[in-house]
């Protein structure tokens, strides 16, 4: 990890699979002062409302114990992937509207990887840094403190 400050006027996206805070750094690169630009939240309904199908079976060979050969669908993971698409689409629109936009992503490893894989090349040029942390439940003042210490 290099010692790169968070650029002034950059957008810092603090997110996980269910919530994304879009924050603008109104402070200096070394002393971020974040203000909320947008909040996206995805309400994940209970599994019973997401899908009701059971996994299929591929026969029942002797000694199989009656288990399914096909894994249960992880409906919450599918919803988190859809939410990651919404976040990257929102960022892509902002980047196309502002060619000078700089973006910093802050997310847990799984979410960060998902956002990275969904970002088109045109959006990737705007991403100037990534921090692998889950800070979505932290107050903004605490996020500022962490970002002032932990560099990109």
Rounded to two decimals, what is the model's pTM?
A: 0.77
Tokens of 138: 């932290």
What is the spatial distance between Cα 104 and Cα 20, in angstroms, rounded to a whole number? 12
Tokens of 16: 């996980």
Encode pLDDT of 83-106 as tens digits: 999 999 999 999 999 999 999 999
Question: How confident is the model over 35-61, as a mean pLDDT?
Answer: 66
- Tell me which of 6-15, 31-40, 56-65, 138-147 is least confident: 56-65
Question: Nearest 5°: CA angle at 86, between 88 and 23?
Answer: 65
The domain segmentation of the chain, as residue ranges, is 11-50+72-149
Phi, psi angles (nearest 5°) of residue 104: -120, 125
Query: Residue 66: what pLDDT?
Result: 52
Contact between 10 and 95 (Cβ < 8 Å): no
Strands 11-15 and 103-107: parallel
Position 68 confidence tier, pLDDT thresholds 50, 70, 90: low
- For domain 11-50+72-149, the CATH architecture is 2-Layer Sandwich (3.30)
């Amino acid at each position: 990890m290099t010692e790169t400050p968070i650029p002034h006027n950059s957008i810092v996206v603090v997110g996980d699979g269910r919530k994304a805070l879009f924050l603008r750094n109104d402070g200096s690169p070394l002393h971020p002062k974040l203000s909320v630009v947008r909040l996206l939240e995805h309400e994940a309904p209970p599994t019973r409302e997401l899908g009701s199908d059971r996994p299929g079976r591929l026969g029942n060979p002797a000694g199989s114990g009656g288990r399914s050969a096909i894994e249960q669908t992880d409906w919450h993971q599918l919803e988190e992937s859809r939410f990651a698409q919404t976040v990257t689409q929102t960022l892509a629109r902002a980047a196309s509207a502002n060619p000078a936009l700089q973006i910093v992503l802050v997310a847990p490893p799984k979410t960060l990887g998902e956002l990275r894989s969904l970002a088109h090349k045109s959006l990737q040029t705007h991403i100037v840094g990534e921090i692998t942390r889950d800070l979505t439940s932290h107050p903004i003042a605490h996020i500022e403190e962490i970002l002032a210490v932990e560099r990109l």
